[in-house]
Amino acid sequence: MSNFKEFTKGLVKENPVFVMALGLCPTLGVTSSVANGIGMGLAATFVLVMANIIISLIKDLIPTKVRIPAYIVVIASFVTIVDMVMHAYLPALYKSLGLFIPLIVVNCIILGRAEAFAGKNKVIPSIFDGLGMGLGFTLALVVIASVREFLGNGTLLGIQIMPSSYQPMLIAILAPGAFLVMGFLMAILNMLKKK
Amino acid sequence: MELAIRIFSMAIAAIFVQNFVLARFLGLCPYIGVSKKLDSALGMGMAVIFVMTLASTFTWLIQHFLLIPLQMEFLQTIAFILTIASLVQFVEMVIQKTAPALYKALGVFLPLITTNCAVLGVAILNVQEEYTFFGAILNGLFAGIGFTLVLVLMAGIRERMDKAEVPEAMKGMPIAMIIAGGMALAFLGFAGLQF
Amino acid sequence: MKYYLKLGFVLFMIAAIASGILAYINGVTLPKIQESEKQAQNSARKNVLPNASFFEKDSLEVKLEKDNNPLKIQQEADTAWFEFYRGYDDSKNLVGYTFQAAKYGYSSEVRTMVGLDKDMKINKIEIVSQAETPGLGAKCVEPSFAKKYVGLSKEQLLVDKDGGTIKSITGATISTRAITESIKSAVETLSANIAPSAQGGNDE
């Protein structure tokens, strides 16, 4: 597959969230605001791409039996780097995302791609795969967060969109709203796919 | 007496008020993935309770006797996830050798527990909440019970759903999400409950 | 046997290299974190007491409130230090006081920088850190929230549900109450130990 195809597949056709149902925890946990969604998406993309690069580079040095722990150490290292850098340079986002930053390490998307792709392919395709999947993840987060922030707060990225007389649907920002929005979005996607 | 009340209070918080799945969004992948049948849900739940309790134990020890004395708290993510991965591997081996029947029932779920964000999540929360060793173990236990509770409830509902008339686009993931939303809404009623 | 040694060695090398790199980055980011923390404090301080040109730090020893939860690690000490700053203008006149109030709200600890004038009435507040629910408790960072506290004395620091004048954020009573209570107890601590128009440091 051409590198470009490796990239685009992660965006729609094999979108990790909507199609493969991976990475659900952060998807529902950080999408109460678009800003959080973008932050998490980009952080996860960074970890995914960097981990893919390293794993693809050292894949021949790792005996098969210990490959999962080895992948985990690589991924965890980059997650820790993201954690430390965010804490230092983006403290507000760091506090908003909270527990979900270290939890990037168990994001099934990252370990899944390492196992399914980076562990078996060369570096350049792995980069494209990582970028595509990561941005597909980010896209999914932004879509869900947009719906939730818009309905639940009348804003997008903190900018007031609805008139101030709009009574927000608070439920959209709270926990149940995450599940409901997700369910309806997935149903809509299913309908679109049938067509 | 004071201790009993505190323990009860912690149990209520971990199982109902701040349920790991419905309020904290942790453990969603297995929640959606394994809740189709009641017996597999129960099996997975039991395994998770076991792993979460053990994981809380070992990660607490590592944090307090290794990371803090050596001032290497920044290695928490790596240390914790490696501990959990090893623990799961070990538990799998033990069950395989000592209870082959149990292994046949649970076997395929066990490796999945490594990426269950609820396990890593509770380990990190134990440190953040500054629980004592005893408190951490209890928190892990109760968190696991809360997870199993909603998993089993969900499985019960989904088994019924199979017999209901679900719109085509909603079948599978979407309706599961809507159900989860309903459950989250119900559990939201516990908010503010304190002893 | 040699096979397992090789497995262990590879894993160990990866872990060692990773730890080394992380230790290095930790060394770089840790001071930056502390530095930006300090800067945020300084700017918040100037914001809540704009008439002050310089600040002097002081502290009071206060009894540490313990929740005595046997399941949580308890602090050994019985007292803690309540830090605050006195603000002075160019002519070295006391303008007021600043301190940071903190209390756990709904989902996070909310830290508020509070500026008091000489008579212990609130000049201005600024939320320094919080991770409350977006759209609900997180609304405490909006200017309209801080406005509710301007000019209040410690007796008036009550949420409407508790008989006061401060109207809670819709759907975020817990957050509002936590913030209000943290400010109230801090102002009470300060006014109990400092004579309102005292100039300079402690007399002791």
Q: Which of B2, B74, B130 sits opposite C72 (nearest CB)?
A: B130
Q: What is the mean pLDDT of residues B71-85?
A: 92
- Nearest residue on chain A to C26, alpha-carbon basis: A84
**C137-185 per-position pLDDT tens digit:** 888 988 889 999 999 988 888 888 888 888 888 878 889 999 999 999 9
* H/E element, A99: none
* pLDDT of residue C203 exceeding 80: no
Residue spans of alpha helices (H) in chain B: 2-12, 28-33, 38-62, 76-98, 100-106, 110-113, 117-128, 133-161, 173-188
Class of residue C134 by CB neighbours under 10 A (exposed 0-12, middle 13-18, buried 19+): buried
Q: Tally Cβ neighbours within 10 Å of residue C51.
A: 13
Class of residue A181 by CB neighbours under 10 A (exposed 0-12, middle 13-18, buried 19+): buried
ipTM: 0.87
Backbone angles phi, psi at B13, to 5 degrees: -65, -50
Say which residue, C55 or C107, is predicted with more confidence: C55
**C6-49 per-position pLDDT tens digit:** 888 888 888 899 999 999 999 999 999 999 889 989 999 999 99
Per the CB < 8 A criterion, the answer to whether C67 and B2 are in contact is: no
Percent of chain C with pLDDT over 90: 38
Q: What is the mean pLDDT of residues B71-76?
A: 90
The pLDDT assigned to B190 comes to: 87
CA of A1 vs chain C CAs: smallest distance (Å)? 31
CA B20-B25-B30 angle, 5° bins: 85
Assigned domain for A79 exists:
yes
Per the CB < 8 A criterion, the answer to whether A70 and C14 are in contact is: yes
**C95-138 per-position pLDDT tens digit:** 999 999 999 888 788 999 999 998 889 999 999 888 888 778 88
Q: Which residues of A touch B180 (CB under 8 A)?
A: 179, 183
Confidence of residue C63 (pLDDT cuts 50, 70, 90): confident
Q: Give the pair of three-digit tokens for residue B84.
A: 């959990």
The set of chains that have 3 or more CB pairs under 8 A with A is: B, C
Q: Give the pair of three-digit tokens for residue B169.
A: 């686009």
Q: Number of A:B CB contacts under 8 A?
A: 120
Confidence of residue C199 (pLDDT cuts 50, 70, 90): very low
The answer to whether the CB atoms of A87 and C11 lie below 8 A apart is no
Q: Which of A26, A103, A174 sits opposite B188 (nearest CB)?
A: A174
Q: Which residues of A touch C172 (CB under 8 A)?
A: none
The pLDDT assigned to A54 comes to: 92
Give the lowest-confidence range in A35-49, B11-25, C72-86.
Answer: C72-86
- Nearest residue on chain C to B3, alpha-carbon basis: C70
Q: Tally Cβ neighbours within 10 Å of residue B167.
A: 11
Residue spans of alpha helices (H) in chain A: 3-9, 24-29, 34-58, 67-89, 91-97, 108-113, 123-153, 175-194
Q: From residue A41, how far is each of A11, A84, A141 by CA, in Å?
A: 13, 17, 7
CA of B6 vs chain A CAs: smallest distance (Å)? 24
- Among A71, A90, A94, A95, most C C-beta atoms within 10 A, so best to mutate, is A95
Q: Is A105 on the interface with B (CB under 8 A)?
A: yes
Number of domains, chain A: 1
Per the CB < 8 A criterion, the answer to whether A159 and B168 are in contact is: no
CA of C22 vs chain A CAs: smallest distance (Å)? 7
Assigned domain for A178 exists:
no
**A55-102 per-position pLDDT tens digit:** 999 888 888 878 888 899 999 999 999 999 999 999 889 988 988 999
The answer to whether the CB atoms of B129 and C72 lie below 8 A apart is yes
- Among C2, C14, C111, most A C-beta atoms within 10 A, so best to mutate, is C14
Assigned domain for A194 exists:
no
CA distance C45 to C103: 18
**A105-153 per-position pLDDT tens digit:** 999 899 888 888 888 888 888 999 999 999 999 999 999 999 999 998 8
Q: What is the pTM of this model?
A: 0.88
Q: Give the pair of three-digit tokens for residue C117.
A: 């004038």
Whether the CA torsion C46, C48, C52, C58 is positive or negative: it is negative
Residue C168 identity: S
CA distance B177 to B180: 5
The answer to whether the CB atoms of B184 and A175 lie below 8 A apart is yes
The pLDDT assigned to C195 comes to: 64
Assigned domain for A131 exists:
yes
> For the packed helices B76-98 and B38-62, what is the interaxial angle rounded to 10 degrees?
130
C44 Cβ contact partners less than 8 Å away, ≥ 6 residues apart = C113, C126, C128
The answer to whether the CB atoms of C10 and A70 lie below 8 A apart is yes
The pLDDT assigned to C196 comes to: 54
The pLDDT assigned to B94 comes to: 83
**A8-66 per-position pLDDT tens digit:** 887 877 888 888 888 888 899 899 889 999 999 999 999 999 999 999 998 888 888 78
| Residue B61 falls in which region: left (phi positive, over 0), alpha (psi -120 to 50) or beta | alpha
Percent of chain C with pLDDT over 70: 95
Assigned domain for A157 exists:
no
Q: From residue A8, how far is each of A111, A141, A144 by CA, in Å?
A: 20, 17, 20
Q: Is A188 on the interface with B (CB under 8 A)?
A: yes
Whether the CA torsion B63, C128, A104, A48 is positive or negative: it is negative
Confidence of residue C204 (pLDDT cuts 50, 70, 90): very low
CA of A125 vs chain B CAs: smallest distance (Å)? 25
CA of B25 vs chain A CAs: smallest distance (Å)? 5
The pLDDT assigned to C200 comes to: 47
> For the packed helices B133-161 and B2-12, what is the interaxial angle rounded to 10 degrees?
40
Q: What is the mean pLDDT of residues B41-53?
A: 90
**B136-160 per-position pLDDT tens digit:** 999 999 999 999 999 999 999 999 8
Assigned domain for A160 exists:
no
Per the CB < 8 A criterion, the answer to whether C180 and C157 are in contact is: yes
Q: What is the mean pLDDT of residues B166-194?
A: 88
Confidence of residue C202 (pLDDT cuts 50, 70, 90): very low
Assigned domain for A152 exists:
no
* H/E element, C13: helix C2-48
Confidence of residue C80 (pLDDT cuts 50, 70, 90): confident
Q: Strand C54-63 vs strand C79-88: parallel, antiparallel, or unpaired? A: antiparallel
Assigned domain for A22 exists:
yes
Per the CB < 8 A criterion, the answer to whether C157 and C166 are in contact is: yes
Q: Which domain holds residue A117?
A: 2-143
